[in-house]
């Protein structure tokens, strides 16, 4: 059953307490809300460390950050900080909350906000009775996560009125940073640049080091510039160093290692300025797709929900079928490592030809 929300909604809170990639895929939601409620004040609640990707979005009036370190405090400090956090949400007098997470904290935020309308997908796990904390529960269908976010609105009469908005705001000084980077390495408009992000906070999503090195060597041999990035996390940086250890020093002039040295907006600007993005199922993959750069992405599972959004991308995945009591992480890693460098290189050849630069 569809519900038509009243038009007197003035203050809206969107809740997405997840990781950066999840937050990226909420970007279309804010324009849809502004189109349907043009006079509304739109806030978004996200975890600390993910807010940067939404800064500059013209359809968001306020970004509220939940500090994840609260979870690590002793019980008294945590209780006090949680109380003050929920109190600050209540004081904002929201009329409508949209929980795109359906987690326990999102449900509590929705309920304690006092909003008249509280939307979410029907929760499948978590707090007992959590579904009663919402006023409207949608039914989630198997689809891309971005579409699921939009469909939750649609089920309650909030329709998308145009093309799906996927713009990531990149400040001028960040664009200038990339311009100077290209100048430093003598990269011209005639050169091919590939942005490679080979790591994830979940290392089981990473491809075999030797395989990644083989593809990097193949690209560097063809005089292609390679900008390699990772988060500042020690394990991710060590992962990249291991990959690069398989590559002869003779290729160093084509490899620009920025691992742990840039912020999320600089990463977006690098992807936008590159001809291609190559990586795994991570937030940078989604960011590259959103800024309009063709993506080659490796998946061990989950491509239906998490593949790069839009046309012109290539997803290379394997599903060996029989998990044989393997845990999910082991199964994904086994699938990934069954993808060969030759398969990836073949797709690179195809997409590079389409660029008319190679």
Q: Is residue 3 part of a domain?
A: no
Name which of 142, 160, 137, 146 is nearest 3 in CA terms. Answer: 137
User: Which pLDDT band holds residue 76 (cuts at 50, 70, 90)?
Assistant: confident
Q: Assess whether 315 and 182 both reside in one domain.
A: yes
- Domain count for the chain, please give it: 2
Band the pLDDT of 1: cuts 50, 70, 90: very low
Nearest to 95 by CA among 113, 112, 109: 113
Residue 7: its pLDDT value, please?
Answer: 64
Residues 116 and 197 placed together within one structural domain of the fold: no
> What is the spatial distance between Cα 306 and Cα 295, in angstroms, rounded to a whole number?
13
Is 166 within a domain? no
Count CA atoms within 13 Å of residue 7 on its CB side: 3
What per-residue confidence (pLDDT) applies to 220?
96
In a domain, 39, yes or no: yes
- Return d(Cα 235, Cα 80) in angstroms, integer: 33
Residue 137 lies in a domain: yes
pLDDT tens string 126-138: 888 899 999 999 9
Whether residue 161 is contained in a domain is answered as no
33 and 134 within one domain: yes
Task: For CA atoms 105, 111, 116, 119, give the dihedral sign.
Answer: positive
Task: Domain of residue 226: give its range.
Answer: 172-354
| 350 domain residue, yes or no | yes
The answer as to whether 310 is a domain residue is yes
119 and 194 inside one domain: no
**CATH code where residue 104 lies:** 3.40.50.2000
- 252-256 average pLDDT score: 95
Most confident of 65-69, 102-106, 179-183: 179-183
The tens digit of pLDDT for each residue in 267-319 reads 999 999 999 999 999 999 999 999 999 999 999 999 999 999 999 999 999 88
Q: Give the 3-state DSSP-derived string for the chain, with helices as H, strands as E and coil as C.
A: CCCCCCCCCCEEEEEECCCHHHHHCCHHHHHHHHHHCCCCEEEEEEECCCHHHHCCCCCCCEEEEECHHHHHCCHHHHHHHHHHHHHHHHCCCCCEEEECCCCHHHHHHHHHCCCCEEEEECCCCCCCCHHHHCCEEECCCCCCHHHHHHHHHHCCCCCCCCCCCCCCCCCHHHHHHHHHHHHHCCCCCCCCEEEEECCCCCHHHCCCHHHHHHHHHHHHHCCCEEEECCCCCHHHHHHHHHHHCCCCHHHHHHEEECCCCCCHHHHHHHHHHCCEEEEECCHHHHHHHHCCCCEEEEECCCHHHHCCCCCCCEEEECCCCCCCCCCHHHHHHHHHHCCCHHHHHHHHHHHHHHCCCC
């Amino acid at each position: 059953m569809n519900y038509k929300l009243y038009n007197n909604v003035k203050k809206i809170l969107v809740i997405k307490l997840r990781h950066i990639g999840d937050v990226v895929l909420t970007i279309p939601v804010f324009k849809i809300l502004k189109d349907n409620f043009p006079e509304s004040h739109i806030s978004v609640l996200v975890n600390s460390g993910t807010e940067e990707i939404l800064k500059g979005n013209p359809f968001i009036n306020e970004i509220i950050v939940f500090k994840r370190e609260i979870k690590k405090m002793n019980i008294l400090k945590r209780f006090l900080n949680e109380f003050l956090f929920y109190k600050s949400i209540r004081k904002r007098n929201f009329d409508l909350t949209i929980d795109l997470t359906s987690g326990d904290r999102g449900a509590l935020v929705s309920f304690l906000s006092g909003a008249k309308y509280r939307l979410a997908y029907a929760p499948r796990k978590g707090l007992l009775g959590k579904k009663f904390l919402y006023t409207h529960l949608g039914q989630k269908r198997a689809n891309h996560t971005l579409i699921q976010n939009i469909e939750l609105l649609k089920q309650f009469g909030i329709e998308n009125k145009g093309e799906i908005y996927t713009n990531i705001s990149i400040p001028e000084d960040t664009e200038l940073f990339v311009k100077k980077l290209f100048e430093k390495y003598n990269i011209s408009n005639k050169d091919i640049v590939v942005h490679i992000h080979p790591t994830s906070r979940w290392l089981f999503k990473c491809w075999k080091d030797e395989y990644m090195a083989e593809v990097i060597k193949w690209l560097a041999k063809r005089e292609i510039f390679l900008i390699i990035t990772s988060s500042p996390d020690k394990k991710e940086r060590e992962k990249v160093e291991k990959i690069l250890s398989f590559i002869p020093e003779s290729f160093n002039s084509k490899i620009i290692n920025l691992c742990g040295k840039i912020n999320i907006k600089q990463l977006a600007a690098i992807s936008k300025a590159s001809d291609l993005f190559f990586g795994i199922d991570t937030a940078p993959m989604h960011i590259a797709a959103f800024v309009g750069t063709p993506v080659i992405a490796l998946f061990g599972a989950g491509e239906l929900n998490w593949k790069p959004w839009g046309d012109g991308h290539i997803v290379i995945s394997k599903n060996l079928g029989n998990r044989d009591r393997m845990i999910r992480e082991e199964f994904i890693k086994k699938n990934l490592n069954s993808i060969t460098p030759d398969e990836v290189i073949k797709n690179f050849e195809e997409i590079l030809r389409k660029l008319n630069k190679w």
